[in-house]
């Protein structure tokens, strides 16, 4: 069984509870929320690339080879959604770490699931309220039926999840 022991370490544990392997991601990436095993037993994880000059966070997917420990970038969501990323502003924080400064949390993915043949589903939680620190000037009232109360506790909010499929040939709404 693999689990994250920190934002920089994956740990492999056998069925008796003995730690068999510790993989250090090094100085480039830190983990973010979720990961899954592919058909070859490698870990596919959401991550932040700490070497980016734009300081964007939580917008990468990486693969960790569990045999060698080698870490490779799979997807840069900023390259996948360049127009949306360009429309956002730097709030200066990482929404999952309010003490951090100078970061750009423009999309904040939370979960990933694998499919056969290089297909990935990306599930996104939609709070159904119109507010984002990175888009303070956006007119949220242009979206039908969205709450603009800046809180998911608003009685008119209808939280839901959205599913996107990526299959290395293109990006699809599932």
Q: Residue 37 forms beta bridges with which residues?
A: 43
pTM above 0.85, yes or no: no
pLDDT digits (tens, 9 = 90+) for 108-130: 877 787 776 666 677 777 766 77
From CA 171, how far away is CA 174, in angstroms rounded?
9
Q: In this structure, how many other beta carbons lie within 10 angstroms of the beta carbon of residue 143?
A: 12
Among 32, 25, 23, 33, which residue's Cα sits nearest to residue 8? 25
* Cα–Cα distances in angstroms (integers) from residue 164 to residues 35, 120, 122, 137, in the given order: 16, 8, 5, 26
pLDDT tens for each residue of 30-77: 998 889 898 899 999 999 998 988 888 889 999 999 999 999 999 899
């Amino acid at each position: 069984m693999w689990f994250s022991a920190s934002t920089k370490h994956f740990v492999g544990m056998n069925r008796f509870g003995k730690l068999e392997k510790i993989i250090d991601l090094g100085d480039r990436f830190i983990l973010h929320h979720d990961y899954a095993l592919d058909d070859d037993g490698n870990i596919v994880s959401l991550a932040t690339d700490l070497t980016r000059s734009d300081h964007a966070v939580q917008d990468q997917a990486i693969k960790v080879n569990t045999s060698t420990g080698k870490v490779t970038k799979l997807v840069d969501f900023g390259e996948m959604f360049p127009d949306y990323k360009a429309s956002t502003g730097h709030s200066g924080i990482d929404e999952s770490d309010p003490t951090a400064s100078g970061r750009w949390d423009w999309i904040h993915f939370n979960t990933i699931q694998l499919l056969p043949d290089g297909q990935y589903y990306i599930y996104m939680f939609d709070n159904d309220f119109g507010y984002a620190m990175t888009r303070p000037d956006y007119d949220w009232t242009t979206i039908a039926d969205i709450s603009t109360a800046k809180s998911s506790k608003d009685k008119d909010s209808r939280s839901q999840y959205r599913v996107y499929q990526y299959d290395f040939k293109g990006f699809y709404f599932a």
